[in-house]
Structure 1
Amino acid sequence: MNEARKTARWPSALPISKSRLVTWVNVAVSLVVAAIGLGVGFAQEVLPAQQVILFTIVTAAVLFLLLNYVAVVFETRAELRAAETEEEQEERGRSARRAWRDNRLLVLAMAALLVLYLLLTASIPEFRSIKNLIAFLVLELILLFAVKISGQFANGRSAFIGLIVLFALILISAFSIEGFLSGPNIKAILLFAAFLGIASVGQTMVALLGGLDLSIPFVIGSSNIALLFLITVGVPSYVAFGFILVLGGVIGLLNGIISFRLQGQALIVTLGTGFAVAGFTQIMTSIGSQFAGNVFGTVPGWLSNLAAMNGRFLGLAFPPTIVIWIVIAIVLIVGLRTTSWGRNLYALGGNRRSASLIGISEFKYWVGCYVISGVFAALAGCLLLGWSGGAFIGVGDPYLFTTLAAVVIGGTSLLGGNGGYGFTVIGVLVLQVLTSFLLGIGLEYEWQQFIFGLLILPMVALYGRSPHIRATV
């Protein structure tokens, strides 16, 4: 082994592979990449032709040297491994497996982002720019930094990575899109984040117990058209608003009772309830009308002011819905961590059996969380009526996916007992900034949904959550 180490030499400053085939492959790869760069350089018409040609030559030379350097490194390592003893080979194998186990999520996430970037570049001509390439490289570096540093934050790993991802998205968006950090755009991001944040309150609460609520989008749509229907038939707007919130709570009560009795079936139960509620609401509001699924009427001025972009709060041009969301977030974040109700909720989510042994009623908390989910879903539907000025049963459809995504991206475990609404706030902001970025670069809705779906996987993988709380009880 020692003799092999003496004879094996690591690559010099100008490395050349011993294999002619490898050398010619490196030449071919370098020329192909340089040719692509040459074509892109001439197509953009940003730099003079002389500079484009110069950069192409430099790129080809540097890439050729790098590829040969890598080839020589692998050749040298192969020579060293050939002279290893069996014990050294076993130790090296264990080290390699350990390194892969510790970093596989990071590697897969970075690879997924690379595939996404290449796919967008190949499919969308507008995406082929130096700015987007630089933005992608910056995003990869920031994510790598976030994952490696997050190990120092054992109690808030998900929150730390989420904040870094949010910072990276804001930085890249500001770099790529003119006017991204303008006042109107920030206000729009916060307003739509507020709608999603309010709708995600219930999803967070039931997730802390290990449940799911798929009726949220249907309750949002039903509340949207039911509120305007009640107003058009003469019910005072404030009374109608409160009545809709009560009905949302009743729907949540049914979801909670039925799903508790049918343990493990919360997903199917809430989905079925949602379909039933949406269908019944359309039947009731379309009686005597030719417009099924839509209700036409005049939205009260106070409701429009609450949620419209031009709404005012204490004389300031700031939609009150954003303030409502901030207050809700503060109350939930503080309440879940400091009150006995919040601590009992985490205890149930962490270990139901242990919590029940100390007298915590699982039924009351389970049903209570679903009631909260129904109320806040109804509130989101009412506020969306003030924003749009018209009622539509499908207004809640996007929230089926995004409420779950906000909870998961934020770092709340769907197994229960770990996370909180503060984590969901981070997830909401990440999703909303990402949406604004995709709109800013001109992607159509179908592409936005495609990218959303692909990005959820690496983001969740990057969080590398700690062992579930049940493992420590």
Structure 2
Amino acid sequence: MSTATDLTSDGDLRARLVTALRQPIVVAAIAAIAILVVGQLVSPGFASYGQIISMLRVASFLGIMAIGQTIVILSGNTGIDLSVGAVATFGAIVGARVMDGDNSNLLLGILIPVALGAGLGAINGLGIVALRLPPFVMTLGMMGVAGGLSLAYTQGVAEGRSAPALTSLVNTRWFLGVPGVVYVWIALIVIVTLLLRRTSYGWNLYAVGTNRRAARLSGLPVNRTVIGAYAASGAFAVVGGLMLLGYNESVLLNLADDYTLTTVAAVIIGGTLAAGGIGGYAGTAVGAVLLQFLQSFLTTVRIPESWRTIITGLVLLSILALFGRQRRLRS
């Protein structure tokens, strides 16, 4: 009897282990660790503590921008925000001009661009729920609008600088040699996860993403939830852009333009279903780390930039093909 019970327990353990290993977040974490191991073998020092911390700092920019993308994709109805990069750049441009290298302007230099980002995101949401424009079309148009606003605001010449306090937050190593921006990111991971899993807005978001019609018939505030999701995407895009501003100290007209598709990739790699309603931000954070480790590895082994782009694209396509269409993610 004891032997049969032991065999059953072993079988259950193996089944649970297999199930866990098939989860996207676990696969992404294992892949990230594998990159560290291979990188260390190819280039000793790649997986050193200091190097890992440096990679996490850069990953935090993508991770913060991907918060809003996670919320948007969870909202369902083929939700996506293609304006993330352009809105992040616009917010950083405004923030740099307002701060102008002065700590006394830091608060306004954060609040004004974040409010602008949230406003642009809310317009995205209004266009989607009121005009019934497809998210792809609406946010693609907003990408052009945000880019145009950046050009109009700067007249083609980006001016201003990050406040020293913001630069210190991003670049100065604090406790255990970890930059402040990484601690900010960790705090956001906890806060956003609790928001999604433990609040009525989070529950509404999952319900809307799973079945928008059923959510509406149940009396849930569908339109408000969707508009809030896109407003959050705009706001977090700007927060990520401001972190990039602190990292570079000055702003560029294309500062965050390359982050849009990588935010989508981080979300899907982390296990959020492209159709919405299933997933969470913890997986997205792991996806962001994986993407940064991959990019750092390709740079370390001196792969030419053109081939880095090709390899990264192929890896993303492979992962997206593997996870993006999995119906079992709903289980």
Q: TM-score under structure 1 normalisation?
A: 0.62
Distance verdict in 2 for CA 1:158–1:318, change over 3 Å: closer
Match of 1:11 in 2: none
In the TM superposition, what whole-angstrom CA distance separates every residue of 1:170-213 from its partner, at most 9, and x where no partner exists? 22122222111223311211001100000100110000012100
Distance verdict in 2 for CA 1:150–1:194, change over 3 Å: farther
Kept in 1, the 8 Å contact 2:121–2:231? The answer is: yes
Within 2, Cα distance between the matches of 1:150 and 1:404? 29
Alignment of 1:397 onto 2:257: yes
Match of 2:107 in 1: 238
In the TM superposition, what whole-angstrom CA distance separates every residue of 1:106-141 from its partner, at most 9, and x where no partner exists? xxxxxxxxxxxxxxxxxxxxxxxxxxxxxxxxxxxx
Alignment of 1:247 onto 2:116: yes
| RMSD of aligned alpha carbons | 2.3
Match of 1:346 in 2: 206
Superposition pairs of residues 59-458 of structure 1, within 5 angstroms = 152-153=18-19, 157-210=23-76, 211-232=79-100, 236-263=105-132, 265-286=134-155, 292-295=156-159, 297-308=160-171, 311-313=172-174, 317-458=177-318
Within 1, Cα distance between the matches of 2:167 and 2:101? 19
Distance verdict in 2 for CA 1:294–1:335, change over 3 Å: same
Structure 1 residue matching 2:214: 3-state secondary structure:
helix
Match of 1:3 in 2: none
In the TM superposition, what whole-angstrom CA distance separates every residue of 1:28-86 from its partner, at most 9, and x where no partner exists? xxxxxxxxxxxxxxxxxxxxxxxxxxxxxxxxxxxxxxxxxxxxxxxxxxxxxxxxxxx
Structure 2 residue matching 1:251: 3-state secondary structure:
helix
> Offset of 1:355 from its aligned partner?
1.5
Q: Which structure's relative contact order is higher, taking Cα pairs within 8 Å and 6+ residues apart?
A: 2
Runs of 4+ in 1 over 6 A off after TM superposition: 148-151
Structure 1 residue matching 2:308: 3-state secondary structure:
helix
Structure 1 unaligned runs (5+)?
1-147, 287-291
> Offset of 1:155 from its aligned partner?
10
Within 2, Cα distance between the matches of 1:443 and 1:155? 31
Q: What letter corresponds to residue 251 of structure 2 in structure 1?
A: A
Within 2, Cα distance between the matches of 1:185 and 1:305? 19
Within 1, Cα distance between the matches of 2:38 and 2:239? 33
Q: TM-score under structure 2 normalisation?
A: 0.88
Q: What letter corresponds to residue 187 of structure 1 in structure 2?
A: I
Within 1, Cα distance between the matches of 2:131 and 2:222? 14
Within 2, Cα distance between the matches of 1:156 and 1:359? 36
Q: How many residue pairs are counted as aligned between the two chains? A: 314
Identity of aligned residues (%): 32
> Offset of 1:424 from its aligned partner?
0.5
Q: What letter corresponds to residue 315 of structure 2 in structure 1?
A: L
